[in-house]
Amino acid sequence: MPVEAADAAVDALLNVIAQSADDLRRFHDVLAGARRSPLPPFPRATVVLTERIIERLTKVDQELEEVLLGLGLQSPPRRV
């Protein structure tokens, strides 16, 4: 693969990751704030959707680690 194509792919991935990180942070803040207030009943469909989101984010995390390995880089340490 030409270096230019690889650079373009990495640049595109960096842009998407940055936007996703911002979106996830905003969602996190809204959801964390909602936990401090009384919540309406949690429908079963919402529980299923929540589980599906967790599975997808886990898959994305694994695939990003594969990209890092493909580039010869190590994964950053996880925050605990």
> Cβ(44)–Cβ(52) under 8 Å?
no
* C-alpha torsion angle, residues 15, 21, 22, 24 (rounded to 10): 140
Q: What are the residues whose beta carbons fall under 8 Å from the beta carbon of 75, sequence distance 6 or more?
A: 65, 68
What pLDDT was estimated at residue 66?
93
What pLDDT was estimated at residue 1?
67
Average pLDDT over residues 2-24: 93
What pLDDT was estimated at residue 62?
93
Show the 3-state SS of 33-58. HHCCCCCCCCCHHHHHHHHHHHHHHH
Pick 43 or 22 by higher pLDDT: 22
Q: Domain locations in the chain?
A: 1-39, 41-80
What pLDDT was estimated at residue 41?
75
Model pLDDT for residues 49-69, shown as the tens digit of each residue: 999 999 999 999 999 999 999
